[in-house]
Amino acid sequence: MAGECLVIALILGALNVGFFRAHRKNWGLAVLPLGFVPFVTGIVIWCAEEFFHAQYTFLLPMLLIIISMFVSCVWIGLACWILIKTSKLRIWYLVVAIGFVFIISAIMLLKFYFMFF
């Protein structure tokens, strides 16, 4: 699961670099919170498996994914109101970005649920 999360974060990071190189800094900063949930989940699971050689409990990944989802949604909201100027574009950005974060978080939560039960 850690590998998949880090690949998703890497793809979104490449998209982010593309925006910054095209001098679209506002869009680069707006895309940045989309990779927060997979990046945090991947790093913590990889560190727990590689460095601590410990089987993580059922509750730790669940709490981690939920907390990182809330942080990402708040970050998306702040990025929306600061970086995007038109109201129509703001609404679409909020719907798509929060929908993406919610769906990816739900997939990770279901993965951990069915892995342990």
Which pLDDT score is estimated for 55?
Answer: 62
The per-residue pLDDT for range 2-52, each reduced to its tens digit, is 788 889 999 999 999 999 999 988 888 888 899 999 998 888 778 777 776
How far, in Å, CA of 44 to CA of 65, rounded? 10
The per-residue pLDDT for range 82-114, each reduced to its tens digit, is 888 888 888 999 999 999 999 999 988 888 777
| Count of CB atoms situated within 10 Å of the CB of 111 | 15
* pLDDT band per the 50, 70, 90 thresholds, residue 117: low
What mean pLDDT do residues 63-71 have?
91
Beta carbons of 72 and 103 less than 8 angstroms apart: no
Give the tokens for residue 12: 């979104």
Q: Model-level pTM greater than 0.85?
A: no
Beta carbons of 44 and 64 less than 8 angstroms apart: yes
**Domain edges within the chain:** 2-116
Which pLDDT score is estimated for 17?
Answer: 92
Whether residue 62 is predicted with pLDDT greater than 70 in this model: the reply is yes
- How far is residue 43 from each of residues 1, 3, 5, 36, measured CA to CA in Å? 10, 9, 8, 11
